[in-house]
Structure 1
Amino acid sequence: MPNYQFQSIIDRSTSTNTLVSQLQAQSIYKLNSLSTSINEQKLLSFENFSQISALITNSDAKTGSQFTKLQTDVSFCSKETTLNSQINTLKTQISTMNDKMNAFATQNQVQTQLDAIKTQISGIQVQVSQMPSAQYRCIILSAYYGKMYALGDYVQYMGQNGCVVQV
């Protein structure tokens, strides 16, 4: 005679694992898309150096108002680095969820945990959408503070200062 209670636990576990896998895949896809949207076309290329050099030369970065504006932009560079870190943390959480789930976890428990992660993803998306083109101006600030650097070294210099730039 089959043990229906045991079979019910197996069925529920299978159903839960399927749900987790589906939601994990969706969440990882969203996070990967978000990472891409943050990072795409934000790295310097050699083709941009002459344009950037002219931008630095023509900017009045030494004036008080411009300097204040650039200081504000630094916080956005730092914020972008923080957002990328948050995204990577969420990816880790999602990828390890299966390890934390057991046969007795209910779909509601799984759903609650994933909903919390989705809320965090939405929060990050809002922050990203509110970020201005501060990444572009980071290069002016980096050049202002590190103007002894050759243009070819700016990528490394800005990386050390938490700036990911868009040109």
Structure 2
Amino acid sequence: MTEYRFEPRPARQKYVDVYPESCPFCGSRDVVEDSGEYVCRSCGSILGFAVYVEPARPPARRVVVELPVKRYTLYRDAVSVYLRRLESALGAGALSKALELFERLDKRVYQGRSPKTIAAALYYLAVGDPGVVRRSDVAAVLGINKYTVRDMAMKLRKALGIVW
């Protein structure tokens, strides 16, 4: 049995009901809590339930960090950024031809595709000679799979009518 004799309540718990100071039946001040109930030790009367509720925690402070996000207003801008990255890394001199090929493409061909994939396939097609730049080199620069470059290059080659 846990005995409570008008001591301060624990700080971690909050009482919902009123702690009985004395028994309303016999007037005794010998009231204890037993198994979640207030019981008078003199007459044995059950005076009520002891209900505990955890205090609400203060809301956590939220810190909003604004990071600069580079957004491209046009799909063409995103593709040209990746094409420039490929040109600077591989230096095959095919940037202008790749941009020209992109301008010839119908929007339905590349719609919903990643700009990285389109740029890699366009650059690979613009180089034209697999001996100069390999698919795996193009894929490694942009961090994509070489088979993705192959599949997209075949699709773009058919759309552009390029014969190898």
TM-score higher than 0.5 here?
no
Higher strand share: 2
Higher relative contact order (CA 8 A, sep 6+): 1
TM-score by length of 1: 0.23
Higher-Rg member (1/2): 2
TM-score by length of 2: 0.23
